[in-house]
Structure 1
C-alpha cells in the first residue's frame, strides 16, 4: 500500500542554523541511530511495514535529509517500569515510520517517570516533585543538545507531562532569544487509560465479614467505611484506603496481622490490568491528559486511548506536526500563551487535580511567562465555570468509560468540553490556535450535539452542569500568603458545613504520626486530650459551629454531628524542607473515616494526590522551612475557615474562648519563637533523608510553580 496524505514537496525547516550541515560530527554520529530505530520499526511492526510497503533507508538518505534541514522530530517516551508506559514502544515505532514517510527524520529517547502510587507514603514521595524539574531539564538538554525541531510525545502520568511541556517550552524560549533557530513544535499522545480492577469474590467475602464483625463489636463506623470503599473500582488509591481501614480493624482486634496481609495481597494482585496505562481516576495523570488537550496540543485521535493506537491515529498526530511546521503561531510557547485562560476554565469545569496549580505556573514560567497562581485565580474569579464532569469511581463513570464513550462517537472529548462551556456562556477564547492548524472555533463548528443524549446519566461529560461550583480555589489568610483547596473534591454538604467554621489544631511534623492517630482505636480520646485543649475550648468550638449540646461524656457524637472539628496540620512538608510529598495517605484515611470526614480537615505545606477528596488544604506559602506561619502553629490553636471569602485565619485562642474572634499571626506570639527554632532543627535533620542531589534547595515557592531561580528570573513575558 502506498502512503497517503504526503506533502507535495518535502518540508524544509526555515532557519539560519543547521548543526547537521554546519558541523560534521553530528552528521557522522546520528544517522546510525535513525537507521536502528527504523529497522526496529520494521522488525517489530512487520504488519504495518508490509501494509505500507515500507523499507529501511540507507544511511546516505538520512545524511541527505539532515543536510537539507528536513524536520528532525524527537519521539519522547517514558520508562517501562511505569505502568503508563508499557505500550509506548509499538506507538513510538509507528510514529518513526510515519515521520520518515512524511519526509522527516525520527529520533527516539526516553525519560524516567516516577510512579506516584509506588512512591506513596514512603521516602519516594520526596523525589516525586524533584523528578518533574529533573525531567524538564533532561528533555531540554536532549532536545537542544541534538538540535531537534519538534516532538511527538507519548505523555504519561503524574509529573511527566508537565515536565516534558516545560522542557520543550524552555527550548522554544531560548531559541526565540538566540534568533537563529526555528521555534519548537510538539504534539502529545497521552498514554492509554488503565482499566480499573475488581475485588475478587473471595476477597469481597472476607471484607464483608470484617465489616460485619466491626458492626457487631460496636464499631459500625468502621463497618460502614469498609463497605463504602468496596463500592469503588479497584485502583491503587482504593487499595490505600483499604490499608488504613484494615489497620484500624487489626488495632481493634477484629483481625490479626496475617489476615490483614492476606487481604492486602489479594487486592494488590487484582488491581492493575496487564496492559497498564494511566489510572482511571481523575487524578493528576488524567488531569494532565485534560491539560494537554485543553492547550490544543493533542489531536482528538490520540486524546483518550484504551490500547495501542492504530497506525491511522499515530499518523494523524505526526501529520498535524507537518501541517504546522514553519508557522510560528503554532509553536508550543504560543499555544501555551493563547490557551492559558482556556485551560484554567477547563480545569475548573472538569474538577481536576489540585496539583495542576503547581504545574501550570511551572510550565508557563519555563516558557518565559510571568505567571503565578494569582493569574489562575484571576481567570477563575472573572469567568466562573460550572462543573460539567460527572466523574465517578462508584457509578461506572471513570476515565476508562469516558474513553470508551469517545471511541463510540458519543462525545468528542475536549472539543465537546469547549462546545458545552461556550454554549453555557463561559468566555472561552475560540480564536486560540491548536496544533491541528485550526482554532477552537473551527474545530467545534457544527458540533451541535457535543454529547450523545442517549447516554443519559451514564455520560461522564454533561451538557447540563452537575453543579455550579467546582475546581480549585486559592485561599489567603492571617498567617500565610496563599494556599489551595480542591473545591471539586468536597461535597456540597461539606462546602456548606465548613463555610465559616472553626477548627482546633492538632499538629504533626510528618504524615506517619498523623496516620497512626487516624488508625488508633482511641482516636477520640487522643483528640480530646490534645495539648492545649480544654473543656472550655471544646465547648466554645462546638457552640460556634452550631452545636446546641456540649457533652464531654459523648465526644463521638459531637464529632459525628460535625460541630467538634479538628484541623490536622502536617507541617515541614514543603518543597525545600522535604521535596513537597503528597499527603495522600492521611487524606484517604480522613476521607474514609466517617467520624473524621464529617468533622475535620487536613492542612499542609506539602501537596495532595490529584484524586484527593474531602476537606484538604495544601501548597501553603510560605512553607514552614522558609519561616512560614504554618511552622508556628501548635496543638490547641484555633483556625477559622471561610469558603465564601476564601480565607483561613488563626484566631487568638484565649480571646476565642471569651467570645471574641481576633485574626492574627502566630509568629507574633512571644512563646512561639523557641518552639519554631527547635522544630526547624528537626526539619533540617529530616531533610538528610533525601539524597543531596535531589534536595530542592533555593527553589521557588508553590505559588510560582517551584522552579529553579534562573527559570524564575527569566519568566518576564506577559501571557495576556
Structure 2
C-alpha cells in the first residue's frame, strides 16, 4: 500500500533533482543501520496483534539502501523529550509511526527535541530560557531536517512553544529549498500529544484548605477566604497549584498557618496533580492553543486531533495515509498550508479564546515561512471579520480539554471540522476552499449537518450558538508604546466594561518577584497607599474621574479599591525578549486573579508575556520593550494611565493637568526629567542579563509584534501571505 488515494501499488518516489543518498556515499553508508534498528525495535515492542507489527522479512540494510537510492520518502518522526509530561507516551507512538512509514514504502527516521515544561520553568530563571527555546528548537529541527535531507515529517507535537518551533523549522527548510531549486518542498502532518487528565485534591487536603479559608474569614480576611474557596472549585492542575501557593503564602504572612503547614499542603497538592500517563495540561493554555492552531492550519489529520492516550493503529495508519497522499503535491507543502489557512487560524484563535502567546507564535511561524506577517495582520483580520466566542471551556464546570477530547473520541463532535462548520453557519467568512492534509475544509465539512451532538447540552465545550460576542485577543496602542495585547476572552463582560475608559495609578516593578512579594504581603493595602506620588489630591482626582463623586472617604482605602473607584496598574518592565528572555508573568497574574480586592480593581502590564491560562486584565507583549528604550521603561510610581478598551488604547496622562480636571496625553520618553531614571534602570537591566547564560541571550531578535524571531528570519520575511 503506497498511494491510498489511487490504490496504486507502485512505490512512491519523491520527484526532485537532488538525492544526497544517491549522490553522496557517506549518508548511504551511515544511515541505514539507524532505520533497521528503529524497525527492529518496532517489531519487538509493538503488540503482536497490531497491524503495524507486520513488517515482513524485508527490513534489511540492503532494502534500506535500495529505498534511499531510489528516493523513496524519507520521513522524520519528530518527538519530544521524556522529561516533559506531554511526551511520556512518545516511544510507542514513534514505533507505530515508523512501522507505518515502512509499510507504505518509505524510510523512517526519528529524532527528538528538548521541550521545556513552562510549568516547571514558572517564576524562576527557567522562564528566561523558555521563549529562547522556541527559536533554538526551530533552528535544531531545521538543522537536522536539512542536514539529513528528509522529505517529510510526522510530528508528535507537544506543549508550549515546541509545536510552533517545529513548524517554523520545517517552514524555514522549505523556504531554503525553494531558493536552491533542486529539492522538493517540505510536507508534514502533526499528531498533537494526548490530553492530560486533571488531578483531584485529596479529601483531607481539601478539608484543611476549607478550614484555612474559614479561619481567614474569622480573623477579618474575608477576601483570602473567598480566594481559597474559589480556587477549590478548579480541577487540580499546575495552574491552580500556583494560585494555592500564593494564597498559602498570604495565609502564612497573616500568621493563619505556619511554614510547615504551608509546605506540607503544597507537597500534597503536587503529589496528586498529574496523571501518570502525562499529556498536555487540560486548561486552554498555550499547549492546547497550539493543538488548535495546528488543526486550524490543516496540518492535523482528523483522526489524530484530540487523543486521550496512545493512538490506535488505525488512527496512526490513517494519519500516515494523509501524509503519503500529499507527497509530490506542492500545493500541500508546509508553507502553502500555512499561507492558505492563516486568516482561518486567526478567526479560530479568537473563537476559541486561546492563548495570547499565539500572537508571538503566529508571526514567528509565518516569518519563518517567508511571509511578512506581524500582529498588525492579526488585528486587521480580527477587525475586518470579527467572530463570536463559541468555546465554553471551563476548569470549574467539567468542560476542560480532556472532556473535549472525550467528547471527540465518543463521536459527539468532530473537533476542528465542527468549529469550521459552526463559524460558517454563523456567517463568519471562513475560507472553506483552503487546503488541508485531508482535503479542503469544504470537502471535510459538507456532510457535517450536526456539528455538535445536541444531547450534550450544557456539557458541550464547542457551542453551535455564540457564548458571547466578545472574543480572542485585542491589540492595543498608546502614547508610551507601539503595540501590546490583552486577552479579552479571559475577562468577564463586567470586568471589560469596568476597565473601559477608566483611570489607573501606576505602581512600578523591575521584576515579578517584588510584585509577588507585595501581593502576598499582610500590609499590602498600606504599601499601595504609601506608593510614591499617591497623595490625597491624586486619590480625589482619580476617584472623581472614575465616578466616585467629589469627596471620597480617604480613610476607607480598601473600600475605594473594592468599589472599583481607585485602581492600580501594576507595571512589570524589563522583562522583554532582549532584556530577560520575555518570561511569563504567570505567578503575579495568578496572584492578581485570585485576589478579590486586586482582581476587581487593578490591571497588570508588562513587556514580558503571560501564560495561556491567564485570565483577568493582563496586558503584555509591550513594544518597544524597556531595554530597547520603550516608554514602559520610563513610567514611574504615581503616574496616571487612561485605559480605553473599546478604543484599544492606553495613554499616559499629564499629572498636573489631570489634577486640574484636564486629560492631556503625554509621551514619557520626551520628558527630560525621566531620562536619568531610565538610564539607571538600563544599568540594572543590563546587569540582570548576566543571570542568563550568554549562549541563550535573545540578542538580534525582532520585537514581539514580529514574533521575536532571529534578525535574519525577520529580514527575509518579505512575501505577501494573501
Q: Where does residue 532 of structure 2 map in the other structure?
A: 531
| Partner of residue 19, structure 1 | 20
Q: CA deviation at 1:49?
A: 5.3
How much does 1:32 deviate? 0.3
1:506–1:635: 8 Å Cα contact kept in structure 2?
A: yes
Within 5 Å, which residues of 2 pair with 1:450-465? 450-465=451-466
Q: CA offsets per residue over residues 263-290 of structure 1, 9 Å max, x none?
A: 1000000000000000000000000000
Give the CA deviation at 1:55.
3.7
Q: Is the CA contact 2:367–2:717 (under 8 Å) kept in the aligned structure 1?
A: yes
Q: Give the Cα–Cα distance (whole angstroms) in 2 for the partners of residues 277 and 182 of structure 1.
A: 34
Say whether the 8 Å CA contact 1:377–1:474 is kept in structure 2. yes
Q: Aligned partners of 1:302, 1:100: CA distance in 2, in Å?
A: 19
Quote the residue 2:640 is aligned against: 638
| Secondary structure in structure 2 of the residue aligned to 1:649 | strand
Deviation of residue 54 (structure 1)? Answer: 2.3
2:296 corresponds in structure 1 to 294
Contact in 2 for aligned 1:48/1:311 (Cα 8 Å): no
Q: Compute the displacement of 1:373 (Å).
A: 0.3
Q: 1:2 to 1:379 in 2, by over 3 A?
A: closer
Closer/same/farther in 2, CA of residues 519 and 707 from structure 1, 3 Å limit = same
**Other structure's SS at 2:121 match:** coil
RMSD: 1.3
Matched with 1:407 is 409
Deviation digits for residues 403-444 of structure 1, max 9, x if unmatched?
0001111100000000000000000000000011x1000000
Q: Which residue number corresponds to residue 43 of structure 1?
A: 44
Contact 1:3 1:52 in 2 (8 A): no
**Are the equivalent residues in 1 in contact too, given 2:2–2:11 (CA < 8 A)?**
no
Q: Distance in 2 between matches of 1:374 and 1:568?
A: 26
Question: Are 2:323 and 2:437, in contact at CA under 8 Å, matched by a contact in 1?
Answer: yes
Matches of 2:136 and 2:49, distance apart in 1 = 35
* Equivalent residues of 2:2, 2:105 under 8 A apart: no
Q: Which residue of 2 aligns with 1:333?
A: 335
SS in 1 for 2:442: helix
Which residue number corresponds to residue 9 of structure 1? 10
Change (3 A) 1:592 1:51: closer
Aligned equivalents of 1:235 and 1:47: distance in 2?
37
2:26 partner SS: helix
SS in structure 1 at match of 2:343: helix
Check the 8 A contact 2:43/2:53 in 1, yes or no: no
**In the aligned structure 2, how far is the partner of 1:243 from the partner of 1:52?**
47
Q: Deviations over 1:345-388 (max 9, x none)?
A: 00000000000000000000000000000000000000000000
Q: CA deviation at 1:46?
A: 3.5
Q: Which one of the candidate residues 88, 98, 103 is aligned to 1:96?
A: 98
Question: Match of 2:216?
Answer: 214
Partner residue in 1 for 2:544: 543
Aligned pair 1:274/2:276, yes or no? Answer: yes
Equivalent position of 2:135 in the other structure: 133
8 A Cα contact 1:190 1:303, kept in partner: yes
What displacement does 1:546 show?
1.4
1:42–1:49 CA contact under 8 A, matched in 2: no
Distance 1:78 1:534 in 2: 54
- Equivalent-residue separation in structure 2 for 1:366 and 1:504 (angstroms): 40
Aligned ranges 1:529-608 → 2 under 5 Å? 529-548=530-549, 550-608=552-610
The equivalent residue for 2:64 is 62
Show the counterpart of 1:478: 479
Helix, strand or coil at the partner of 1:641: strand
Q: Which residue of 1 aligns with 2:672?
A: 670
Structure 1 residue 47, shift from structure 2 partner = 2.2
CA distance in 1 between partners of 2:209 and 2:424 (Å): 46
For residues 161 and 52 of structure 2, the distance between their equivalents in structure 1, rounded to whole angstroms, comes to 37
Does the Cα contact within 8 Å between 1:7 and 1:102 map onto a contact in 2?
no
Bigger shift: residues 706-715 or 586-595: 706-715
Q: Alpha-carbon deviation of 1:50?
A: 6.9
Instruction: Specify the SS of the correspondent of 2:449.
Output: coil
Preserved contact between residue 576 and residue 699 of structure 1 (Cα < 8 Å): yes
- Structure 1 SS opposite 2:589: helix
In 2, Cα distance between equivalents of 1:54 and 1:242:
51
Which residue of 197, 211, 214 corresponds with 2:199?
197
What's the CA shift string for 1:568-599, capped at 9, x where partnerless? Answer: 00000000000000000000000000000000
Alignment of 1:8-407 (within 5 A): 8-48=9-49, 53-55=54-56, 57-407=59-409
| SS of residue in 1 equivalent to 2:120 | coil
The answer to whether structure 1 residue 500 and structure 2 residue 526 are counterparts is: no
Q: Secondary structure at the match of 2:130?
A: helix
Secondary structure of 1:117's aligned partner: helix
In 2, Cα distance between equivalents of 1:324 and 1:221 = 57
What pairs with 1:690-701 in structure 2 (closer than 5 Å)? 690-701=692-703
Q: C-alpha displacement at 1:53, in angstroms?
A: 3.0
Distance 1:455 1:352 in 2: 22
| Greater alpha carbon shift after TM alignment, 597-606 vs 7-16 | 7-16
- Report the Cα distance in structure 1 between the residues aligned to 2:622 and 2:29, rounded to whole angstroms: 51
Q: Distance in 1 between matches of 2:640 and 2:519?
A: 20
Offset, 1:3: 13
The TM-score, its normalising length taken from structure 1, stands at 0.99
| Cα distance change, pair 703–218 in 1 and its aligned pair in 2 (3 A) | same
Corresponding residue for 1:517? Answer: 518
Q: 1:329 to 1:693 in 2, by over 3 A?
A: same
| Contact 1:42-1:55 at 8 Å conserved across structures | no
Asked whether the 8 Å contact 1:2–1:53 carries over to 2, the reply is: no
TM-aligned CA deviation for residue 52 of structure 1:
5.1
Question: Does structure 2 conserve the Cα–Cα contact (< 8 Å) formed by 1:73 and 1:107?
Answer: yes
Question: What is the alpha-carbon distance in structure 2 between the residues aligned to residue 54 and residue 11 of structure 1?
Answer: 18
- Aligned residue for 1:489? 490
Counterpart of 1:74 in 2: which secondary structure? strand
CA distance in 2, matches of 1:117, 1:39: 36
CA offset digits 1:5-33 (Å, max 9, x no partner): 87421001000000000101000000000
Partner residue in 2 for 1:440: 441
Distance in 2 separating the partners of 1:181 and 1:52: 32
**Could you tell me how far 1:4 is from its partner in structure 2?**
8.8
Task: For 2:82 and 2:472, locate their aligned partners in 1 and report how far apart those are by CA, in whole Å.
Answer: 32
Query: Helix, strand or coil: the match of 1:671?
Result: helix
In structure 2, stretches of 5+ residues that fail to align are none
Distance 1:662 1:684 in 2: 33
SS of the aligned residue for 2:79 comes to strand
Per the alignment, residue 425 of structure 2 pairs with 423
Q: Which digits, 9 at most, give the CA deviation of each residue in 1:634-677, with x for residues without a partner?
A: 00000011111100000011111110101111111121000000
1:87-120, Cα deviation, whole Å (9 max, x unpaired): 0110010000000000000000000000000000
1:43 to partner: Cα distance: 1.0
C-alpha deviation, 1:177, in angstroms: 0.8
Mapped to 2, the partners of 1:39 and 1:50 lie a distance apart of 15
Which residue of the partner structure matches residue 689 of structure 1? 691
